[in-house]
Amino acid sequence: QSVLTQPPSASGTPGQRVTISCSGSSSNIGNNDVCWYQQLPGTAPKLLMYRDDQRPSGVPDRFSGSKSGTSASLAISGLRSEDEADYYCAAWDDSLSGVVFGGGTKVTVL
């Protein structure tokens, strides 16, 4: 059971908007930045979003992040076939003094 809660799956057709939620607590999301990772099949995870809503260079602006209280969201607009991947949220946890992850959301492009 992961500390952060994500839906196991999400899907959409090309061009649609898909949103993934990530729910935590006051010791992690409520008090610290949220990051998102994209893991394409057979590859290592890649940083997709940091500090709740900041994109590293090279990440398309179709990806956006937000946070409110102890929950965060990742939105993918203009869904494309190459967005088919697993997406994970992560945050520092003050109680653990370490990093906690969500269980991951598999995005399928129909």
Partner 1 sequence: EVQLVQSGAEVKKPGESLRISCKVSGYRFTTYWINWVRQMPGKGLEWVGRIDPSDSYTKYSPSFQGHVSISVDKSISTVYLQWNTLKASDTATYYCARIVVTGTGRFDPWGQGTPVTVSS
Interface with partner 1 by CB under 8 A: which residues?
Answer: 2, 32-35, 37, 44-47, 50-51, 56, 86, 88, 90-92, 96-104
How far apart are CB 89 and partner 1 at their closest, in Å? 8
Burial of 94 (0-12, 13-18, 19+ CB in 10 A): middle
Our CB check for partner 1 shows the closer of 70 and 77 to be: 70
Nearer to partner 1, 59 or 77 (CB): 59
Cα–Cα dist 90/4, whole Å: 8
Residue placing its CB nearer to partner 1 in the complex, 12 or 59: 59
105: left (phi over 0), alpha (psi -120 to 50) or beta: beta
What is the smallest separation between the CB atom of 39 and partner 1, expressed in angstroms? 8
